[in-house]
Structure 1
Amino acid sequence: MDAVAAAFDVTPRADFLPPELRQRADHDGPLAIGRGATCSQPRTVAAMLGLLAVQPGDRVLDVGAGSGWTTALLAALTGPSGLVIGVELEPELADFGAGNVRRTQRPWASVTVAAAGVLGDPDHAPYDRILVSANAAVLPLTLEDQLAPDGRMVVPVAGVMTVVQLGAERVVTEHGRYSFVPLR
């Protein structure tokens, strides 16, 4: 079993949904969780995590953490030697996501309210990996600046899943069309 599939096995989506949606956890589509946000389609999340290529011990930023599901999945991938910080713009969702992540007993992961007017979490940068679960109109260079020298970011840009890989050269690749709520 690959690492992403193993993370899914130990992080059931139902545990990150409001009670009235838990019976739909196996639905392979986005589920509205309030405040204009969704819990993303499992197939899409798996594709994004595969592109992100998280390694044990990585420092990861999860932008648009919502219910905390992706934050907890990332924590399963990094293991306890890693660090995962989820940021969420909507305070009610951040509280919901933080509580969900706490219940996973992965203390190396957390969800907090995003700082007003700040994209990402530059105070704790650099990050080895950044996952963005909202559609950016243009490639968010502010987030790219928060990557470590060999970092990788996965972000939907104008509906196209985009990977930015830093290293000896900066490489940007595109990986199909997806639909997400807008990045604000």
Structure 2
Amino acid sequence: MEKYINTPLTRDKLKDLHCGDSVYITGVIYTARDAAHKRLVELAEQGKPLPFTIENAIIYYVGPTPAREGQVIGSAGPTTSYRMDAYAPMLISLGQTGMIGKGKRGDDVIEAMKQNGAVYFGAIGGAGALLAKCVKKAEIIAYEDLGAEAIRRLEVENLPVVVIIDSEGNNLYKNGRAAYLSR
């Protein structure tokens, strides 16, 4: 089923997102990869404020390439999500409601999603140039020293993703495989 959502991604909106749904996201999302996640968790553990409001936020696991002349951002395809698994439960517990990446997630992340209300979206790997066309504005807001892995605030329009794991823990990687094998 196709769904269109605007950020922020509140828990009320999560209830309507189900494993396998095609979703188009419009609004503000943030980028962060493992080095930035480590710093975010360290700040949280020290009781210091994060560089953006984590509550109801979506983090896209991406390290975009430099923008060419006339472009807002370079290629912006997803990176493998399991590298953020050590940090995701803490950020989810602080109110993060969405993650965009590719690949499987660990049991601790899925449990945090179910307990706190969050979803994991998959973006198409290898389609970074096409996904970048959905980015209308990009600015570095933290950790510029990390280069491509700096935290960016993106304004996106109809960014296409698929709900891989919904807030109830339904997992497209498991459910889809089981449905295929039962044929």
Q: TM-score range by the shorter chain?
A: 0.3 to 0.5
Using structure 1 for the length normalisation, give the TM-score.
Answer: 0.34
Highest RCO, 1 vs 2 (Cα 8 Å, sep ≥ 6): 2
Larger radius of gyration: 2
Q: TM-score, normalised on structure 2? A: 0.34
